[in-house]
Homo-oligomer: A and B are copies of this chain.
Amino acid sequence: MTFNKPDFKNDKPLYIQVVELIKHRIATNVWSLGMMIPSENELAREFDISAGTVKKSLSVLVQERVLFRRQGKGTFVAIPDFSKSFNRFFRYEVNKDGSQQIPDSEVLEMAIVSGPKEVRDILGLEENGKVIKLCRIRSLKKNPFVLEDIYLSYKRFKGFENMDLSEKLLYPIFHKVFETPVIYAKENIYPDVADANAAKLLGIEEHAPVMCIERIAYTYRDMPIEVRYSIGRGDTFRYSITLK
């Protein structure tokens, strides 16, 4: 699947070929997150196809939120933003400007360990590969609402274990410091009841309802880079969805 131009002899439609070609350039960092890509006319010339076909390809990519466009300015590679979906399952404080309050976080543990086998398998580590384990508790206005156990490949994130985490959000650090943007994440959620430890840390009764969230975060090329297990207070958990 290497290509530089769409091809009429290919049985796939031209505009689909262009979609895949552009995704490939983004996945291999030929075009990096946030940068402006060439204009429709330039792409049409480069690929030797009509502007209308390029337009159709870009529309598909905008629909998929891979790109975004600004009339009069250009077309840009989208930067995944988890600030909303990041902890979308819990009620957040909303500031006057409509932005969301970033929760405080307290580090309970930061260590380089072997980690659970499940985590090692998900991250695709070699036999003796190490992981960074980060346990933290997150709160809003001194009210803790979620515990997180986070696992990262030590090889990829070497140095993270000594970093100052006062910035609170990890994904911007992954992106800026380790050149590893989180492109998407998969989550499994299910209910449970608090054990003694979680109850104490979250400030709730033992056996009170909690929500468990398992997350795997991925970067370019569907590469898993983070495994996160969260336990959140049930009484602050709310999830709304519209089924169509």
Interface of A with B (CB < 8 Å)?
A: 63, 65, 80, 82, 85, 88, 183-193, 207-211, 234, 237-244
Contact = CB atoms under 8 A, between A and B. Distances in A.
Instruction: Give the 4 A-B residue pairs with the shortest CB-CB distance, closest first.
Output: A191-B191, A191-B234, A191-B209, A85-B243
A211 B210 CA distance: 10
A191 B210 contact: yes
7 contacts: A65-B244, A88-B243, A186-B242, A188-B238, A189-B239, A191-B192, A192-B209
A184 to B, nearest CB: 5
A190 B244 contact: no
Given A207-B207, A209-B209, A190 B239 contact: yes
Nearest to A214: B240
A27 to B, nearest CB: 14
Contacts of A188: 238-240
A208 to B, nearest CB: 7
Copies per complex?
2
A240 B210 CA distance: 17
> DSSP majority for the A interface?
strand
A209 B194 CA distance: 10
A65 B211 CA distance: 32
A191 B85 contact: no
A72 to B, nearest CB: 17
Contact of A184 (B85, B184, B185, B244): B244
A100 B192 CA distance: 26
A186 B237 contact: no
Contacts of A65: 244
Contacts of A240: 186-189
Nearest to A207: B207
Given A63-B63, A209-B209, A242 B185 contact: yes
A228 to B, nearest CB: 12
A168 B187 CA distance: 31
A127 to B, nearest CB: 30
A40 B135 CA distance: 58
B243 A184 contact: yes
